[in-house]
Structure 1
Amino acid sequence: MIFFITSSDSGSLVIDNITAGGKIESPILQRVFWATMEGAVAAVLLYVGGTQAIEALQAGVISTALPFVFILLLMCVSLVMGLRTESIREKFA
């Protein structure tokens, strides 16, 4: 139980820092919101229970991670283009 509470607190802190827009001190209500949302998700998963909870979690992770696949692919293309440009600059420098 202590592990879950500590992990949830750390997770809400990280999400709060990401969504704070670079502010070191974010509003307390924002952190409370994220902690409440994490608690609500955990409560729903406990209520559903069993394999349905795992399947719901898997579906949620896949549906939220899918858009990032395209962003990561674009980042890979950008990296290759940048490395090619850098090697051309080194040849002619």
Structure 2
Amino acid sequence: MFGQGVRPPEVARRLRVSRKSAYAWHTAWRQGGSAALASKGAGGPGADSTMPRQNSCRPSWRRDQRRTAGWRTSGGPLRGSRN
């Protein structure tokens, strides 16, 4: 669209994206042509295949903790500073 003279605000309207994104695309297009607008792959968490995947969303240090719901794991309920 940029090659056809369509301005970034019109691109944003047609593609239903923010003007900020359209202007960023326009800048990339001016500096690197159509190749600069090519997809660089999926984004977001888990998109980098070099990172090991976890089976849980919980960090590993939390995964091993028991839920005590205010109870000590031994010795009865927590009583604050009272013994």
Say yes or no: TM over 0.5: no
Structure with the greater alpha carbon radius of gyration:
2
- Point out which structure has higher relative CO (alpha carbons under 8 A, 6+ apart): 1
TM (normalized to structure 1)?
A: 0.28
